[in-house]
Structure 1
Amino acid sequence: MTTTHLPSTVTLQAFRDAMATVASPVAVVTAMDGPRPHGTTVSAFASLSLTPPMVLVSLDNRSQLLTIIRRTGRFGLNILGTHQAGLAAAFARPGQNKFDDVIWSPSENLPRLPDSAAWITAEVDEYVTAGDHTVLLARAITAEPDEAGPIPSPTTSVPSARTRPWPPDRRAHPHSPRRACRASLRASAHRTVPFPGGPN
């Protein structure tokens, strides 16, 4: 049976603006390129299965990190805490030197960022090409939650059902960590919605 696709009338900016209303946590996906750590900021990740435990991550097809993960078959998922907006911005920028001046440690031979809200290591089962991105379907090998709340993606004021809510007093304060986090992430987001895993 042949499927007929209707022509799209969506502009890139309209799509970005629509998806910017969706709150999701922010993470840094990491891998080792020989002795060199590599990583990029993403918000396009989610739990996929409980039995077995699986996650999915979306990376730009041009991503150097994707090339490394295709070679090694493994990655780390550092789910960032509310105090780590600076790390989210740093790893969202293009370039090879994102780990300069960043404290990290090897865990399961993958780069782990300290004080993250959670740490997951995963082995890729399948790579699915979807438009200009590749979706990684991966089995979770280790999972270690922390007490810190995750960073919500920057362009909405309403936490998602899967995002730990912010305390009301901090949310209302004009200099709250939440507002500072969102402002920092807005400034760093470019070309993507808002961190799907760019060509970094």
Structure 2
Amino acid sequence: MSAVIEPGEFRRILGHWPSGVVVVTAMGSDGPVGMSCSSFTSVSLDPPLIGFFPAVTSATWPAIREAGRFTVNVLAHHHEELSRAFSQKGIDRFAAVPWHEGEAGPVIDDAAAWIACELYDELPAGDHTLVLGTVLALSAAEQSGPLVFHRGGYARLA
């Protein structure tokens, strides 16, 4: 028998685990698409795989899936507003964002790092989907610290 865990309490307790923030982007049939995500991880070195978890209700994930390739943009410490914008619905998320086309999707110009991927697999994971991507190319701006999400808010590493 499993315990009944209240979702709000689950979120509050797991919020004690800090995470980085990424924006996953792709070139959709109608132009660039992207979404913020704080559930991102490295998965495998051989082959090089990453993973992230969009909600099953995401309106953006299907467009990224259809593209078959995507870029994970690791947000820098000054990207709080950008992260919030890529979490909103019904707006042009790329309107005020300097970016350029990468081999697998839009690359945010001043991201802390970017990782170009090809869709490897996706698996159901409760109210989310586990997306696995094969890493095609990657790069980092060594001078830029990451944006961190912790206990429901944004933070910087000291």
Please give the TM-score of this superposition, normalised by the length of structure 1.
Answer: 0.72
Would you tell me which structure has more helix in proportion to its own residues? 1
* One-letter amino acid of the counterpart of residue 114, structure 2: W
Alignment pair present for 1:21 and 2:16: yes
AA at the equivalent of 2:76: G
| 1:153 corresponds to | 149
CA deviation vs aligned residue, 1:120-174 (integer Å, no higher than 9, x gap): 01111111011111111111001101121111113289x9xxxxx833xxxxxxx
C-alpha distance in 2 between matches for 1:20 and 1:56 = 19
Query: Is 2:73 the partner of 1:78?
Result: yes
Give the AA of the match of 2:149: S
Are 1:129 and 2:124 an aligned pair?
yes
1:90 is matched with 85
Conservation of the 8 A alpha-carbon contact between 1:23 and 1:153: yes
Are the aligned partners of 1:31 and 1:65 in contact in 2 as well (CA < 8 Å)?
no
Write 1 or 2 for the structure with the bigger share of strand: 2
Mapped pair 1:32 → 2:34: no
Distance in 1 (alpha carbons) for counterparts of 2:132 and 2:141:
24
Q: Is the CA contact (8 Å cut-off) linking 2:104 and 2:117 kept in structure 1?
A: no
- Secondary structure of 2:52's match? strand
Match of 1:55 in 2: 50
Unaligned runs of 5+ in 1: 1-5, 160-164, 168-200
Offset from partner CA, 1:47-67 (integer Å, 9 cap, x none): 001111110011111212221
* Identical columns (%): 33
1:189 is aligned to none
1:43 alignment partner, one of 38, 41, 48: 38
Q: Secondary structure at the residue paired with 1:128? A: strand
Partner of 1:195: none
Assess if the C-alpha contact under 8 Å between 2:75 and 2:113 holds in 1: yes
**With CA pairs under 8 Å and 6+ residues apart, which has the higher RCO, 1 or 2?**
1
CA RMSD of aligned residues (A): 1.9
Moved over 2 A (4+): none
Q: Larger Rg: 1 or 2?
A: 1
Counterpart position of 2:61? 66
Letter in 2 for 1:61: V
Q: Which amino acid aligns with 2:56?
A: N
Q: What is the rounded CA distance, in whole Å, between the counterparts of 2:91 and 2:66 in structure 1?
A: 18
